[in-house]
Amino acid sequence: MLFNSFEFCLFLPVAFAFYWLLRCRWHWQNAFLLAASYVFYAMWDVRFLWLIAGVSLTAWLSGMGISRFGRGSRRAKGIVAAQAAVSLGVLFVFKYFNFFVDAFVSLSEWLGFSACRPLWQVALPVGISFYTFQALAYVIDVYRGETKACRSALTFFTFIAFFPQLVAGPIERAARLLPYFDRPRSLDYASAVDGLRLLLWGMVKKTVIADNCATIVNAIYANPNADGTDLWVATFFFAIQIYGDFSGYSDIAVGCGRLFGIPLMQNFRLPYFSRSIAEFWRRWHISLMSWFRDYIYIPLGGSRGGRLRTAGNTFIVFLLSGLWHGANFTFVLWGAYHACLFLPGILLRKQRRRNDDMAAGGSLPSFHVAWQMGRTFLLVCLGWVLFRSEDVSAAGLRLHRMFTDLHWHVPFCGRLPLLLPIALLLVEWFTRHREHPLDLPARGLWRSRAVRYAVYYALILSVLQWGGTPVEFIYFQF
């Protein structure tokens, strides 16, 4: 069930009403929320409900086993290893089996051997990368003592399956989110209203911005004769599309969570205003990168073993994050590309955290900061060519044309569509100090309720009038 579908417009208010009718019995709320989440997922493919339930069951039993045998015991270590094998094994079978079989067959043919591909293909369950990582993180955190084992299977299953973040994150930590499912909840009117605002803004980013950009990107990328100028335009539009699509999903998820009294974490913080690649990755898909930091990078040694060891650990993390995004060599190269952009700062010891205020208290950035933002955005856009392309050869051809086959003409899409991504960037820049653009301050022009509601209704009308052809969220395939 898509967030931007008619079915969801019916599902959400019905779920909200029934959920709060049970407010005096929070265990019943969990039972209803679990059932609603499974219905939400079954609208995609009911065949894979057993997989979510199975991953949830093994993680819950693992947490209980670690609690029983004690952290640090041999049995507890075995349980963590077993859960890692289950989670990663599920990912391998359903997400990477076809990829590795195809790679093996291609390598065999290149070496002169004959190898047959299997007649059957493994289907990819929606959201598998997200809920398996969330379940595995819980077990590791219980073993580390960072969270207590959840005694209630119902509570834990609801935590894993919570429908707003089930299929595309954010990947939540049990220590932060699980307690909200394990206690009574009451409706906070102010939080729920703000959740609706955030949901509306996410819908605008997805339907008005991302889906309209998708039309242009798909048309240019489907044209084998597209020249370098149109490919640059498509690359820019894809950068806006994937940001509007994924951050729009995250905004909708966080907004829905607030309606049910469950606060989800922020997953994006204005990544296209980053002044370096390192800063970009602190602002883009925050939950995934923090997962890789805490469960891969730090256990490998982090930055404790000198610059070369740190560089090696960083490269491993980016390669794995690329592979996490999809079973295609383009994603692996995309991860390697970002690792190469990241490494000079490590090797030259120029990595540093920057102040979140990009304009140093002013309305506009300085020329130096604007140059840093533009340079970083350009480098990120070049990486998106790898991410969007069907295979490595197609990506190489497009990159080659972008630098050699330039013809200065009106872009394929015309000039008018350029206003959409530019408008998005301007709105986010001038509202960067707020939690989100519709978090309107109660002062000046915004003191008037009529003005605020005029903005809300105008955005609703824009979704209805200018929302593009509904497109599945990009990150549902991961």
Q: What is the pLDDT of residue 473?
A: 76
Q: What is the pLDDT of residue 115?
A: 60
HSE of 296, CA atoms in CB hemisphere, 13 A: 18
Q: Same domain for 195 and 180?
A: no
Q: Is the pLDDT of residue 103 over 70?
A: no
Q: Is the pLDDT of residue 179 over 90?
A: yes
Among 149, 170, 186, identify where a domain stops: 186
Q: Distance between CA 113 and CA 111 in Å, rounded?
A: 6
Q: What is the greatest pairwise CA distance in the chain? A: 75
Q: Is 82 exposed, middle or buried (0-12, 13-18, 19+ CB in 10 A)?
A: middle
| CB under 8 A, 24+ apart: contacts of 378-381 | 379/277, 379/341, 380/239, 380/272, 380/277, 380/280, 381/235, 381/236, 381/239
For residue 308, tell me if it sits in a domain: no
Q: Distance between CA 311 and CA 301 in Å, rounded?
A: 11
Q: Same domain for 228 and 179?
A: no
Q: What is the pLDDT of residue 44?
A: 80
Q: What is the pLDDT of residue 160?
A: 96
Contact 296, 320 (CB under 8 A): yes
Q: Which of 95, 176, 195, 192 is nearest to 138 (CA)?
A: 176
What is each CA distance from 42 to 47, 53, 83, 166, in whole angstroms?
A: 8, 12, 25, 12
Average pLDDT over every residue of 319-330: 88
Q: Distance between CA 43 and CA 60 in Å, rounded?
A: 25
Q: Same domain for 174 and 248?
A: no
Q: Same domain for 53 and 173?
A: yes
For residue 345, tell me if it sits in a domain: no
For residue 89, tell me if it sits in a domain: yes
Q: Distance between CA 161 and CA 148 in Å, rounded?
A: 19
Among 171, 186, 201, identify where a domain stops: 186
Among 140, 167, 186, identify where a domain stops: 186
Catalytic residue among 285, 325, 338, 436: 325
Q: Same domain for 250 and 390?
A: yes
Q: Same domain for 14 and 87?
A: yes
Round the average pLDDT of the chain to a whole number and report it: 87
Higher pLDDT, 168 or 149: 149
Contacts of 98 (CB under 8 A, 6+ apart): 121, 122, 327
User: Is the pTM higher than 0.75?
Assistant: yes
Q: Is 400 a catalytic residue?
A: no
Q: What is the pLDDT of residue 118?
A: 59
* Full residue range of the structural domain in which residue 47 is found: 6-186
Domain count, the chain: 2
Q: And the tokens for 472?
A: 């599945």
Q: Same domain for 370 and 435?
A: yes
Q: What is the residue whose two structure tokens read 């200018």? A: 466
Per-residue pLDDT reduced to its tens digit, 206-262: 999 998 899 899 999 998 888 898 899 999 999 999 999 999 999 999 999 999 999
Q: Same domain for 140 and 213?
A: no
Tell me the one-letter amino acid at 332: V
Q: What is the pLDDT of residue 356?
A: 67
Contact 342, 378 (CB under 8 A): no
Q: Same domain for 450 and 436?
A: yes
Q: Is the dihedral of CA 80, 327, 236, 277 positive or negative?
A: positive
Q: And the tokens for 311?
A: 């560089």
For residue 341, tell me if it sits in a domain: no
